[in-house]
C-alpha cells in the first residue's frame, strides 16, 4: 500500500515536470518566430571597459555595449533599436566608442535606431544619442553640455603647512603634468589646452555628423551650456519631445510592428550574487576609477560640461 502511494506521488511529480517542460518549450518555440524591437539601456557613468554595478553607481561599459550590438546585428528577430539614455557622461573614449558602435549597427543592418532620453543625457550621454536616426527627449531632460574643461587640485601649500614635502623623479618634461603637488607651468597649460581643444573638436565633428548639422552651427552652441529637452529641440539638437514609450511607438510604426510586438532588453549576463545584491563586488566605486591612473572624462552632471584629465583617487569628483 505504501509502495503504491509512493509510485502515485512520483507519477504525479513526473507529470508536473513534463507539463512544465512542455509549456516552457512551447513558449520558447513561439518566441523564435516573433519579431520585435531591441532596447539598449545606456545608464550611469560611461567607461571603456565592461558594464558593472557598484554600491554607489551604475556603469555602462563601451566594451559590453559593442558586444551586445554585434550580437543583435546578427539576430533576424530584431527589426529596430531604441537606445534609452540616462547618463551624465563619463570617459570621452567610451562615449566615442559607443557612438561608433551604434553607427556600425545601423550600417550593417539598415535598421532604424531611435534614442530616448531620460532625466539626463548630457555631454557624453548626448554624444551617444547623436548616433541615432532620431532623438526623443522629455521637455525637462537635461542635455547638451558639449564642452571640455580641465579640473585639478594643487595641494602644495597645504602639504607644506603639514610639513610634508613630496619628491618626484621623472624622465620626460611633462611626465608629472597635472600633479597635485605643484602648480602648472605655462608650457603645461598650453599643452593641455591644445589637447582639450582637440577632444572638443572631435566631439563637435561627431555631433555635426550624427545630427546632419553644419559644424559651425554646432560650434556656436558647443560652449558647455546645459539645455533642457525643449531648448535642445529649438536648437536642432533633438528631434521630438516625448518619452521612451513615444520613441517605441514611432519605431513600431516605422517597421510595421503591432503593439503586441515584444521589446528585448540588451543587457549583460549577471551572476546570482549580483542579481540578489545589485552589485558583484562590495566597493563603492567601479574598478575603472580605482585601477586606471589616467582617464579623460566628458561629464555633464549637474549642468556642468566636464572633460577632465585626472589622477584617479578619492578626490576625483564627477
Nearest partner of 125 among 154, 81, 90, 152, judged by Cα: 90
Burial tier of 255 (Cβ tally within 10 Å: 0-12, 13-18, 19+)? middle
Known catalytic residue: 8?
Answer: no
**pLDDT for 183:** 87
Q: Which pLDDT tens digit goes with each residue over 36-61?
A: 999 999 998 888 888 877 666 788 99
* Least confident segment among 210-214, 225-229, 310-314: 310-314
Q: Which of 123, 145, 179, 307 is catalytic?
A: 123
* Least confident segment among 81-85, 135-139, 156-160, 255-259: 156-160
Known catalytic residue: 140?
Answer: no
How is domain 36-311 classified at the CATH fold level?
Answer: 2-enoyl-CoA Hydratase; Chain A, domain 1 (3.90.226)
Domain boundaries, the chain: 36-311
Cell numbers standing for residue 83: 537606445
Q: Which of 140, 175, 220, 313 is catalytic?
A: 175
Cβ-Cβ contacts under 8 Å for 37 (sequence gap 6 or more): 78, 79, 80, 81, 82, 248, 251, 252, 255, 257, 261, 262, 263, 264
Tell me the angle at which helices 62-73 and 92-109 cross, rounded to the nearest 10 degrees.
Answer: 0
CA–CA dist 63, 71 (Å, integer): 13
Q: Which pLDDT tens digit goes with each residue over 93-121?
A: 899 999 999 999 999 999 999 999 999 99
Q: Which pLDDT tens digit goes with each residue over 233-277?
A: 999 999 999 999 999 999 999 999 999 999 999 987 665 555 555
Percent pLDDT > 70 in the chain is 73
The dihedral over CA atoms of 129, 61, 54, 41, expressed in degrees to the nearest 10, equals 40
Burial tier of 225 (Cβ tally within 10 Å: 0-12, 13-18, 19+)? middle
Burial tier of 212 (Cβ tally within 10 Å: 0-12, 13-18, 19+)? exposed
Enter the pTM of the model. Answer: 0.79
Amino acid at each position: 500500500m505504501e509502495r503504491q502511494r509512493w509510485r502515485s506521488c512520483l507519477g504525479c511529480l513526473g507529470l508536473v515536470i513534463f507539463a512544465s517542460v512542455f509549456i516552457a518549450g512551447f513558449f520558447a518555440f513561439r518566441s523564435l518566430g516573433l519579431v520585435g524591437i531591441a532596447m539598449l539601456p545606456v545608464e550611469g557613468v560611461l567607461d571603456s571597459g565592461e558594464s558593472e554595478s557598484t554600491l554607489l553607481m551604475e556603469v555602462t561599459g563601451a566594451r559590453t555595449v559593442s558586444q551586445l550590438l554585434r550580437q543583435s546585428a546578427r539576430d533576424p528577430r530584431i527589426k529596430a533599436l531604441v537606445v534609452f539614455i540616462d547618463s551624465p557622461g563619463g570617459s570621452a573614449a567610451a562615449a566615442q566608442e559607443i557612438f561608433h558602435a551604434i553607427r556600425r549597427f545601423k550600417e550593417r543592418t539598415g535598421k532604424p535606431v531611435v534614442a530616448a532620453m531620460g532625466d539626463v543625457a548630457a555631454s557624453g550621454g548626448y554624444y551617444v544619442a547623436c548616433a541615432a536616426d532620431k532623438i526623443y527627449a522629455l521637455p525637462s531632460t537635461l542635455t547638451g553640455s558639449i564642452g571640455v574643461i580641465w579640473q585639478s587640485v594643487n595641494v602644495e601649500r597645504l602639504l607644506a603647512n603639514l610639513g610634508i614635502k613630496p619628491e618626484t623623479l621623472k624622465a620626460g618634461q611633462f611626465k608629472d603634468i597635472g600633479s597635485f603637488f605643484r602648480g602648472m607651468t605655462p608650457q603645461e597649460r598650453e599643452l593641455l589646452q591644445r589637447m582639450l581643444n582637440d577632444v572638443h573638436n572631435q566631439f563637435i565633428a561627431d555631433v555635426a555628423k550624427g545630427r546632419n548639422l553644419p559644424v559651425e552651427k554646432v560650434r556656436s552652441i558647443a560652449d558647455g551650456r546645459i539645455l533642457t529637452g525643449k531648448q535642445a529641440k529649438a536648437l536642432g539638437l533633438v528631434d521630438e519631445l516625448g518619452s521612451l514609450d513615444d520613441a517605441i511607438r514611432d519605431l513600431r510604426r516605422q517597421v510595421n510592428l503591432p503593439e503586441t510586438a515584444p521589446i528585448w532588453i540588451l543587457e549583460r549576463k549577471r551572476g546570482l550574487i549580483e542579481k540578489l545584491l545589485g552589485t558583484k563586488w562590495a566597493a563603492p566605486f567601479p574598478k575603472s576609477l580605482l585601477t586606471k591612473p589616467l582617464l579623460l572624462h566628458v561629464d555633464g552632471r549637474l549642468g556642468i560640461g566636464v572633460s577632465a584629465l585626472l589622477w584617479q583617487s578619492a578626490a576625483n569628483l564627477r
